Amino acid sequence: MVSPRILLLALGTVLMGCGGGQASDAPANSGTVSDAQARNLYVRKCSLCHGDDGKLGASKSPDLSISTLSLEERVALITYGKGTMPGQRGILNKDEIDAVARYIERFRE
């Protein structure tokens, strides 16, 4: 059995390597995130694995253009992460996470 400390260390390593760091485009708890800011956040935090159009599939990431997740499910996934995708809670604020989740809707075919 793997100790919780090792799991936390591994998770921290993943967070540092994939979309980690503070977002600088919108102040924390700004209340409103523009479409341009949402796009910039997506490009900086998500496009490495998902691609600019959501279809890249690097690191076994799903094709966002065929995703059937609801907005609420996308918000939860971005917030808490899943598999190798790190959660962004504490890195992005709620408004930024909501904006990125809405931005992803553009990729649906």
Question: How far is the CA of 72 from the CAs of 50, 60, 62, 100, in angstroms?
Answer: 19, 22, 17, 12
Check which CATH number belongs to the domain holding 81 and give it. 1.10.760.10
Give the range of the structural domain holding residue 75, as residue numbers without chain letter: 4-107
Going by the DSSP 8-state scheme, the letter that residue 83 receives in this structure is T
Q: Residue 92: which residues within 8 A CB-CB, separation 6 or more?
A: 23, 41, 45, 78, 100
Q: Which amino acid is at 8?
A: L
Number of domains in the chain: 1
Question: How far is the CA of 56 from the CAs of 22, 47, 48, in angstroms?
Answer: 24, 8, 8
- Give the predicted TM-score (pTM) of the model: 0.72
Residue by residue, pLDDT tens for the chain (109 residues) are 545 454 444 444 344 445 444 444 433 444 699 999 999 999 999 999 999 999 999 989 999 999 999 999 999 999 999 999 999 999 999 999 999 999 999 999 7
